[in-house]
Structure 1
Amino acid sequence: MTAQNSKLGDTDDKIFVGKGDEQAWLTLALANRHGLVTGATGTGKTVTLQVMAEGFARAGVPVFAADIKGDLSGISEVGEAKDFILKRASEMGLNFQPDQFSTVFWDVFGEQGHPVRATVTEMGPLLLARMLDLNDVQEGVLNVAFRVADDNGLTLIDMKDLRALLDAIVPDSAKKGADAAEDPLAAIRKAAQGFGNVTKATVGTIQRQLLVLENQGGTKFFGEPALTLKDFMKTDRDGRGMVNILVADKLLQNPRLYATFLLWMLSELFEELPEAGDLPKPKLVFFFDEAHLLFNDAPKALMDKIEQVVRLIRSKGVGVYFVTQNPVDVPDRVLGQLGNRVQHALRAFTPRDQKAVAAAAQTFRPNPKLDTAKVIMELGKGEALVSFLEGNGTPAMVERVMIRPPSARIGPITPDERKAIMAASPVKGKYDTAVDEESAYEMIQKRIAGTAATADGPAGGNGGGLLGQIGSIVGTIFGTNVKRARLSTGQVIARDVTRSVTNQVIGGMAANIGKSVGGQLGGSIGRTLVRGALGGLLRR
């Protein structure tokens, strides 16, 4: 092994992953071509994930990984030189030295890590509909609600904002004639009906699905301070990449919430990061465990967006690695984007299992020395079939290798160790306390109470037609009307990404917002806002 790090076996441009007849190296410059780690339960996928995460961190690449069972948390503590570890290292020619890696723990529920929050606006109607398991009609009404919120300056931060907005767009049959003029929400109801038939029954169904999500703890995900994804992309004082671990044991109890949350993170990275081209190493590597949950029952529109994001995020310098039991869990059009493969053992007890083994074997570049389909069923724990991309970007022939031992601890950490790590976290105090500033719920309550603007102006006290609208927009942009909640949306608006991806996501729903105001101001203020590729607000 030439030019290796004397401690760990890596070179300046490669990660040493394992050794068989040949050595298995993952080239950093090709790591953003994505990858796949598969195998039956108990065959060593988590250890392989840890080995790869350690290699990236040593190379100065930040890592994000979901920890389903808690085993990955051991990467934060010094490994132990146990006999079986020393034996395996010696067989590979490694000079094993225990190590540990700077780690930040995250938890949607805020129990075993820093809270992870997003605003309802950032999540967007497409992903929120997926999270709530809505049908096409219900998703259409949700799109209407988001559009009405944008048009009326109603900032959607948390669940109570969305509930209040949904109540506001329901037609009120009791308000007729003269009474309708006195309805403080008449303008909102009229605007909603202008986009289509919004019925009380459909809104009621969406509200019930929101209640289900709330009962599962989903309310803790929506709010502020919202996550700044750049906090994932940091290095420690030694120049090593920070390892960000999402504590996902409880989150996985709601598979749809888990999958949608990780997809939201991936889409936010895609929208926020600039084009980077080919880099010597990725800016971030994202490990998506239990990846089959992402694709289960996903509608075609969402599958199209997943494929597009996976294909295009490579140029942003992000590598995505799916971890699941079998390659057939991943649709072919996504599977084709995953160049670096690690296949642990599969068992073939049924005809269906046998077909799965054959399909897994066919995903590798054949090696004349190996019967790939047969070897997949013979692999022992810690063994894998590996094929990484070579220097010209083509897959290497599949090799049977023993995965190298991790240098950090194998297995979970203790509660006291976790507490100590969180106390020394670089983001301590930034996300730990929720903030509830004025947003759509409070704005709608002001209208109902008669303290806000008249119904024909934007919410927030700036009535008076066009001039009032201009004042409201200027105040919103520069932060004079609202506090942290509105500024968060402003940060989202400031993203600069390609418009073509966005247009395909929302189609006809992405009508111009503020067009008349923008025209009269010469375009200096009234920029068009549209929904992002999978959720957020983007700037034209």
Structure 2
Amino acid sequence: MADIVDLDAGTVVVGGGGADYATQQKLLLKYANRHGLIAGATGTGKTVTLQTLAESFSRAGIPVFLSDVKGDLAGIAKAGSVDAPLNEPFQKRATQIGITLDYQAFPVTFWDIWGERGHPVRTTPAEMGPLLLSRLMNLTDAQEGVLNIAFRVADEEGLALLDMKDLQAMLVWVGQNAKDLSLKYGNVSTASVGAIQRALMVLENEGGNLLFGEPALELADMMRLDASGKGMVNILSAEKLMNSPRLYATFLLWLMSELFEQLPEVGDPDKPRIAFFFDEAHLLFDDAPAALIDKIEQVARLIRSKGVSIWFISQNPADLPESVLGQLGNRVQHALRAFTAKDQKALRLAAQNYRPNLDFDIAEAIQAVGTGEAVTSLLEAKGVPGIAQRTLIRPPLAQNGPITDAERAAIIAASPMGLKYGKSLDRESAAELLAKRAELAAQEAADKAAAETGTAKGNDDIFAIPREHNRGRRYDASIQIRDEAPAPRQRTSRASSSDTIATAFGKSLARQLGTKTGQALVRGVLGSLFRGK
């Protein structure tokens, strides 16, 4: 019996193919960074395929990130058992494929945006950038433009946008100074500012405010190995997150863009530096503008040279745009159901994406494969697509299914990530700085008004000489007293009730925009790419 991972040959066993499923189908780690697709109807075995691939990468010393949308991938943290209900069929399948089913657990770190079923995972508005935030809030082009202006001014003024309240405070200031900002940056509509604020409120109600804050997630904390050399399996708890599909898709897209931006070029490594599984991938592309899809395709194409292996998991290959689908060299196609004319067309298109096999009709095979089987095409030497094969997917080595809440809590408590990410930080940033500047500007305005008022009263007491006091006096060259009526008293300058603290600060800060230069904040690659749009 063979092991599932052969590091000397640089391969992992995906399953068994051929007429009797005894011919092992192997994924070359050297070409795993050419990305992959796992597709199939509900209940056909996509989740088990995802788990077996994640286990294989981990055993090969490759860290993994995956989202757990149903809660049943947590079993990777616990070894499988001979007493498990599926042990007998799994052992039979392993014998058929020709592998040793050595049950074992894998190192796991649980993450959760809400911090309930894993360590809190956060980013900042500055890191996510205006493009992804606009996508997250479904903003119009005009509203996205206003959001870009808010980020630009924050950069120039050195106002860090670290959490939701920073962004809200910055938008308030932009709205109050819309007229002055429009002269420099283009039209700033207060209606657009209001629309963005409403979208932020909706996002906050959905729990999006928990995503923004510090300490922000560091990629190095995901790309770890345990003491035995296994890659860390990072599991994002997404059961609750799936109730906000746009938040789910935007977060994973941000994470993918961060990998692209931060990792150095490595060319074609012997194995990936990290494997990234994007479950329910259709959510990434639903209602996405063409420009965003183009950038996703660009990142998928270029991130290969940084040693990142991306796997999209969806029910149908048609859920992904052709430009992205063309970047996926390794494919595992579980059964597709063709009950309608549209389904039959999608089935034919899916079959056309495979290198033909003279032994069977691919379209028929995609309909006929059972649960746990798939039609696979894995890249061969020199990156050539492999001939399509009917493949029996190998069984997982870890537990197939969820773990108990107590077991999850024990794993979370033992993780060193709890000390780093357990408590949120609230550093001085845009909201606090804007409040301080507003308070200072208001105090200066009040002092100035008081000084001018005091000077005006002094004029009345000292220099205002009544007209009747001059009558009948002799002319003295040393004292020249004018007989004409005194000049009207100047109106005392006082701060009106409409000059609020925020307005006073806004006018003061707007005058500085042309001269003060701030250090620009670094944001995600998709945002930086779009600045050239």
TM norm structure 2: 0.83
Alignment match of 2:165 (pick from 160, 164, 168): 160
Contact 1:462–1:469 (8 Å) recurs in 2: no
Instruction: Classify the secondary structure of the residue corresponding to 1:359.
Output: helix
Contact 1:453–1:463 (8 Å) recurs in 2: no
Specify whether residues 192 and 218 from structure 1 end up closer, same or farther in structure 2 by C-alpha distance, changes over 3 A only: farther
Equivalent residue, structure 2, for 1:282:
272
Specify whether residues 69 and 465 from structure 1 end up closer, same or farther in structure 2 by C-alpha distance, changes over 3 A only: closer
1:10-89 correspondence to structure 2 within 5 Å: 10-12=6-8, 13-21=10-18, 22-81=23-82, 82-89=87-94
Residues in 1 aligned to 2:109 and 2:439: alpha-carbon distance in whole angstroms? 45
User: Once the 2 structures are TM-superposed, how far is the Cα of residue 95 of structure 1 from its aligned partner?
Assistant: 2.1
User: Once the 2 structures are TM-superposed, how far is the Cα of residue 446 of structure 1 from its aligned partner?
Assistant: 0.9
Residues in 2 aligned to 1:426 and 1:386: alpha-carbon distance in whole angstroms? 39
Equivalent residue, structure 2, for 1:416:
406
Residues in 2 aligned to 1:50 and 1:126: alpha-carbon distance in whole angstroms? 32
Contact 2:54–2:64 (8 Å) recurs in 1: yes
Equivalent residue, structure 2, for 1:343:
333
Contact 1:28–1:282 (8 Å) recurs in 2: yes
1:260 aligns with 2:250: yes
Residues in 2 aligned to 1:65 and 1:452: alpha-carbon distance in whole angstroms? 51
Specify whether residues 505 and 463 from structure 1 end up closer, same or farther in structure 2 by C-alpha distance, changes over 3 A only: closer
1:210 aligns with 2:196: no
Unaligned stretches of 5+ in structure 2? 445-501
Superposed CA offset, 1:30-89 (max 9, x none): 000000000000000000000000000000000000110011110000111221111111
Amino acid paired to 2:106: F
Contact 2:351–2:363 (8 Å) recurs in 1: yes
Residues in 2 aligned to 1:453 and 1:394: alpha-carbon distance in whole angstroms? 71
Amino acid paired to 1:141: V
1:215-294 correspondence to structure 2 within 5 Å: 215-294=205-284
1:103 aligns with 2:103: no
Equivalent residue, structure 1, for 2:456:
none
Specify whether residues 452 and 412 from structure 1 end up closer, same or farther in structure 2 by C-alpha distance, changes over 3 A only: farther
Specify whether residues 452 and 311 from structure 1 end up closer, same or farther in structure 2 by C-alpha distance, changes over 3 A only: farther
User: Once the 2 structures are TM-superposed, how far is the Cα of residue 507 of structure 1 from its aligned partner?
Assistant: 2.4
User: Once the 2 structures are TM-superposed, how far is the Cα of residue 199 of structure 1 from its aligned partner?
Assistant: 1.4
TM norm structure 1: 0.82
Amino acid paired to 1:354: Q
Equivalent residue, structure 1, for 2:153:
148
Instruction: Classify the secondary structure of the residue corresponding to 1:230.
Output: helix
Between 70-79 and 162-171, report the one with greater CA deviation.
162-171
Specify whether residues 502 and 263 from structure 1 end up closer, same or farther in structure 2 by C-alpha distance, changes over 3 A only: closer
After superposing on structure 2, the runs of 4+ consecutive aligned residues of structure 1 that deviate more than 6 Å are 451-455, 461-466
Superposed CA offset, 1:342-390 (max 9, x none): 0000111111111111111111111111100011111100000010000
Specify whether residues 268 and 298 from structure 1 end up closer, same or farther in structure 2 by C-alpha distance, changes over 3 A only: same
Residues in 2 aligned to 1:452 and 1:311: alpha-carbon distance in whole angstroms? 53
User: Once the 2 structures are TM-superposed, how far is the Cα of residue 193 of structure 1 from its aligned partner?
Assistant: 4.5
Contact 2:181–2:510 (8 Å) recurs in 1: no
Equivalent residue, structure 1, for 2:137:
132
Equivalent residue, structure 1, for 2:491:
none
Equivalent residue, structure 2, for 1:392:
382
Contact 1:341–1:386 (8 Å) recurs in 2: yes
Equivalent residue, structure 2, for 1:299:
289
Residues in 2 aligned to 1:431 and 1:137: alpha-carbon distance in whole angstroms? 36
Specify whether residues 191 and 9 from structure 1 end up closer, same or farther in structure 2 by C-alpha distance, changes over 3 A only: closer
Asked which structure has the greater CA Rg, the reply is: 2
User: Once the 2 structures are TM-superposed, how far is the Cα of residue 452 of structure 1 from its aligned partner?
Assistant: 9.6
Residues in 2 aligned to 1:189 and 1:121: alpha-carbon distance in whole angstroms? 25
1:320 aligns with 2:321: no
Amino acid paired to 2:170: L
Equivalent residue, structure 1, for 2:432:
442
Instruction: Classify the secondary structure of the residue corresponding to 1:239.
Output: coil
Residues in 2 aligned to 1:249 and 1:42: alpha-carbon distance in whole angstroms? 17
Contact 1:463–1:469 (8 Å) recurs in 2: no
Residues in 2 aligned to 1:362 and 1:261: alpha-carbon distance in whole angstroms? 32
Between 91-100 and 331-340, report the one with greater CA deviation.
91-100
Instruction: Classify the secondary structure of the residue corresponding to 2:111.
Output: strand
Contact 2:181–2:188 (8 Å) recurs in 1: no
Residues in 1 aligned to 2:510 and 2:187: alpha-carbon distance in whole angstroms? 27
1:506 aligns with 2:508: no
Contact 1:165–1:441 (8 Å) recurs in 2: yes
Contact 1:9–1:94 (8 Å) recurs in 2: no
Equivalent residue, structure 2, for 1:515:
none
Residues in 2 aligned to 1:96 and 1:273: alpha-carbon distance in whole angstroms? 35
What RMSD, in angstroms, separates the aligned Cα atoms of the two structures?
2.7
Unaligned stretches of 5+ in structure 1? 172-185, 478-488, 509-540
Residues in 2 aligned to 1:292 and 1:239: alpha-carbon distance in whole angstroms? 34
1:170 aligns with 2:175: yes
